[in-house]
Amino acid sequence: MTLKYKILSGLLGLMLLLIALIIYILQPSGKVQDFQPWLYQPAATAPAGYTVKFFGVSTLLFDDGQQQLLIDGFFSRPSLSQLMFGQINSQPIVIEHAIELHQLQRTQAILVTHSHYDHALDVPLLGQLLPQAKIIGSRSTLNIARGAHLPESQLQQLVPLQPMQIGNFTVTAFPSQHTPPTAVNNDLGEEIQQPLSLPARFSEFKEGHSFDYLIEYEGHKSLVKASTGFIPEQLKQLQVDHLFLGIAQLSRQPEQYQQQYLAETLQHLKPKVLIPIHWDDFFQPPEQPLQFLPHLADNTPKSLNTVIKAAAQQQTQVLLLDQPYAYPLMTATDVAR
């Protein structure tokens, strides 16, 4: 065997190993069905009353049967190749289908947690198709909306800690922190200073500050925390019925950080029910069932198990929503009371 042949064989082996590694790290980090005991099983008939639907990442639709609040509204879900090699944009067909299927014409406001693309990409098109809905968020979020020339009367820059009456809902925004930065996500605190027109590179969607949303309805309280970050003691005086807790990259954080995150959220808020969010692979197309983040991004089963164990210690129920079912926050009887 010649030296040249040995070198070529070695290089071929390394290439095959590299291909296998790439395939592995892009695969889901686990199976959603392995968490069957925590998966929500919907009733045969859609529930009446006050409900929520989960669409992946932190897109949530709160609905009392008359009016709706939409958190983030990220439906288009561009692929990883689109992110890496081109510009990204909303998919009108996907957005129009969501509006029709979920009756989003009743949406009173779109509340944006921060301005990364997986939260704010679809804000401009949603604003155009839902002119009755206020776009509420940071200055960066509003500059994304301004890129589509939405009227200023439709835009509202939020004022932290100041309750907003939005139709039948009362909403309060709490300043928060984003998930700790990574090599491709190191823009925390940076703002979008000018209107951002689409299509655009994903890196142009600067974080622009993060917020948690407290949503109150008929005495019921929900807190939406999209990112795995916190401000110490920010939520200490608050208790809620439902906690929608972001867990993206929780397993990647040091043990001390994980415990403090759960102390600042789960332990302080003492929810009856905890619903994990931001656990799904948002590079997958919108028509596909939700699946866990790939190995490249997280060990989602490990993150979930950490949350489940902590919740059990304080008798908080954990529910995993893997499809946009209408999950009842309050029954029609509870609302009537």
- Residue-range domains of the chain with CATH: 32-336 (3.60.15.10)
Q: Which two tokens stand for residue 22?
A: 């790439």
The answer to whether residue 264 scores a pLDDT higher than 60 is yes
**Of 240-244, 315-319, 327-331, which gets the smallest average pLDDT?**
327-331
With contact defined as beta carbons under 8 Å apart, do 295 and 281 qualify? no
**Of 110-119, 162-171, 186-195, 225-234, which gets the smallest average pLDDT?**
186-195
> pLDDT for 139-161, tens place per residue?
999 999 999 999 999 999 999 99
Average pLDDT over residues 222-246: 97
Confidence of residue 27 (pLDDT cuts 50, 70, 90): confident
**Which candidate, 241, 240, 337, 260, places its Cα nearest to that of 306?**
260
Determine the Cα–Cα distance for residues 168 and 160; give it in Å rounded to an integer. 20
Give the three-class secondary structure for 250: helix
Determine the Cα–Cα distance for residues 154 and 144; give it in Å rounded to an integer. 13
Peptide bond into 294 cis (omega under 30): no
Determine the Cα–Cα distance for residues 52 and 85; give it in Å rounded to an integer. 35
**Which candidate, 235, 266, 230, places its Cα nearest to that of 161?**
235
Confidence of residue 335 (pLDDT cuts 50, 70, 90): low
Task: Report long-range pairs for 197-202 (Cβ below 8 Å, ≥24 apart).
Answer: 197/147, 197/148, 198/87, 198/88, 198/89, 198/90, 198/121, 198/124, 198/147, 198/148, 199/86, 199/87, 199/88, 199/89, 200/87, 200/88, 200/89, 200/147, 201/87, 201/88, 202/78, 202/83, 202/88, 202/117
Q: Can you say whether residue 29 is alpha, beta or left, with left for phi > 0 and alpha for psi between -120 and 50 degrees?
A: alpha
pLDDT at 116: 97
Name the residue with higher pLDDT: 200 or 84.
200
Across the chain, what does the average pLDDT equal? Answer: 93
Angle (CA) 32 94 242, round 5°: 45
The answer to whether residue 10 scores a pLDDT higher than 70 is no
Name residue, tokens 């990259």. Answer: 249
Confidence of residue 45 (pLDDT cuts 50, 70, 90): confident
With contact defined as beta carbons under 8 Å apart, do 133 and 107 qualify? yes
CA distances from 116 to 1, 95, 205 (A): 54, 18, 5
Share of the chain above pLDDT 70, in %: 91
Determine the Cα–Cα distance for residues 134 and 113; give it in Å rounded to an integer. 14
pLDDT at 24: 66
Determine the Cα–Cα distance for residues 185 and 56; give it in Å rounded to an integer. 20
Give the three-class secondary structure for 123: helix
pLDDT at 182: 78
Confidence of residue 312 (pLDDT cuts 50, 70, 90): very high
Entry pTM: 0.93
Average pLDDT over residues 242-257: 97
The answer to whether residue 290 scores a pLDDT higher than 80 is yes
The answer to whether residue 239 scores a pLDDT higher than 60 is yes
> pLDDT for 46-101, tens place per residue?
788 999 999 999 999 999 999 999 999 999 999 999 998 999 999 999 999 999 99
Average pLDDT over residues 217-226: 98
Q: Please tell me what DSSP assigns to residue 204.
A: G
**Cβ-proximal residues to 68 (8 Å cutoff; 6+ apart), any chain:** 61, 62, 103, 104, 106, 107, 108
